Amino acid sequence: MIVEAERRGAVGVARLNRPEARNALSSELMEMLCEVAEAWDRDPDVRAIVIAGSDEYFAAGADIKAMRDRTFQEALSNPFTSFWPRMAAIKTPLIAAVSGYALGGGCELALICDMIVASETAEFGQPEIMLGIIPGGGGTQRLARVVGKQRAMELVLTGRRIDAQDAFRLGFVNRVAKKREWLDEAIELAEVVARRPPLAVRLGKQAVLAADETTLAAGLDHERRLYELSMATEDRVEGMSAFIEKRKPDFRGR
Ligand code: HXC
């Protein structure tokens, strides 16, 4: 399977598996990844999703061999870009576990995730400019929001790569893990999220994402409404009662 889906308790782990093409994101691979993520998103038992590649490659970007012969008309009528809004619509927290190359669409796939755990071997970049195109999966927009305009400009206009430590310094990745520990660390982070009350987790994700999409005033307004929704859940009564009674909470997702 070009995407291997495995459940580890409340965490879904999707591994990209096209080693012969360095995990290049063919339409078939992206379709399967979207289907796996969407199915887990509908399953209340899945509380967090990890997207990973192999030790050597997260993903080398869109499939250049398939792209070369795509006509402009084909690109318009069957846009590869339609996979990105589907991934962005996933309400369950997404954690990218990146080891090796995350280039072009691979970097954009990591950026669409809510958190990134990188191996010390990870390399990120937007090399599209070298192919005569520009990023089309959110690479210019999400990157600029995460690392700032000047740095995004350098990455997009030179196509240069940055390593895991630089990515960490730029606030691009949440943590850098040792070579053999990157996947375990990502799953561990996902497990922490998975233990939290799931409705509040979804509301929290939605609220933070609004920071990128709205003005401060509109974002604060949105946050206030989502906060009020969280106050309507049974889990928040349980969470507060457990705190006061000095016991562990038993969250039910209600
Ligand atoms: C198709 C790819 C590929 C890709 C590698 N391969 N990347 N095939 N699409 N993106 C294939 C190679 O053609 C080769 O096939 C095999 O994988 C091994 O690749 P090598 O280059 O020999 O491997 P290596 O020396 O290990 O180098 C790895 C690499 C390099 C650094 C990742 O392959 C590379 O630079 N790839 C391209 C990265 C890139 O430009 N990404 C941006 C794509 S555009 P054969 O048949 O020779 O064995 C993009 C746009 C997104 O992502 C738009 C979103 C809407």
Catalytic residue (choose from 108, 123, 185, 223): 108
Query: Which residue has a Cα nearest atom 51 of ligand 1?
Result: 105
**Average of pLDDT values for 211-218?**
94
In the residue annotation, 105 being an active-site residue is answered as: yes
In the predicted model, is pLDDT for residue 39 greater than 80?
Answer: yes
Report the DSSP pairing between strands 57-59 and 94-98: unpaired
pLDDT at 80: 76
**Average of pLDDT values for 222-246?**
97
How many residues in total does the chain contain? 254
Query: Which residue has a Cα nearest atom 40 of ligand 1?
Result: 127
In the predicted model, is pLDDT for residue 6 greater than 90?
Answer: yes
- Rg of the chain's alpha carbons, rounded to an integer? 19
pLDDT at 91: 98
Are 141 and 169 spatial neighbours (Cβ–Cβ below 8 Å)? Answer: no
pLDDT at 75: 83
Q: Give me the residue spans of the domains in the chain.
A: 3-194, 198-245
In the residue annotation, 128 being an active-site residue is answered as: yes
pLDDT at 82: 85
Handedness of CA 47, 22, 79, 172 (dihedral sign): positive
Atom of ligand 1 nearest to the CA of 56: 26
Tens of pLDDT, residues 64-75? 998 999 888 888
**Average of pLDDT values for 31-43?**
98
Tell me which residues have their CB closer than 6 angstroms to ligand 1.
21-22, 24, 60-65, 80-81, 101, 103-105, 127-128, 131, 135-137
pLDDT at 81: 80
pLDDT at 113: 98
Query: Which residue has a Cα nearest atom 23 of ligand 1?
Result: 22
**Average of pLDDT values for 222-248?**
97
Catalytic residue (choose from 128, 186, 190, 207): 128
pLDDT at 144: 96
Ligand 1 centroid to residue 100 C-alpha, Å: 13
Query: Which residue has a Cα nearest atom 12 of ligand 1?
Result: 21
| CATH of span 3-194 | 3.90.226.10
Ligand 1 centroid to residue 188 C-alpha, Å: 30
Tens of pLDDT, residues 160-184? 999 999 999 999 999 999 999 999 9
Which of 137, 133, 147 shows the shortest CA–CA distance to 70?
A: 133
pLDDT at 206: 97
Secondary structure letter of residue 112 according to DSSP: H
CATH number of this structure's domain 198-245, picked from the four choices 2.40.128, 1.10.3470, 2.30.29, 1.10.12 = 1.10.12
Atom of ligand 1 nearest to the CA of 159: 40
- Read off φ and ψ for residue 99, nearest 5 degrees: -125, 140
Tens of pLDDT, residues 75-131? 888 767 889 999 999 999 999 999 999 999 999 999 999 999 999 999 999 999 999
Share of the chain above pLDDT 70, in %: 100
Atom of ligand 1 nearest to the CA of 62: 52
Best of 2, 22, 65, 68 to mutate for ligand 1, by most ligand atoms within 8 A of CB?
Answer: 22
**CA–CA–CA angle 88, 92, 96 (5° rounding):** 70
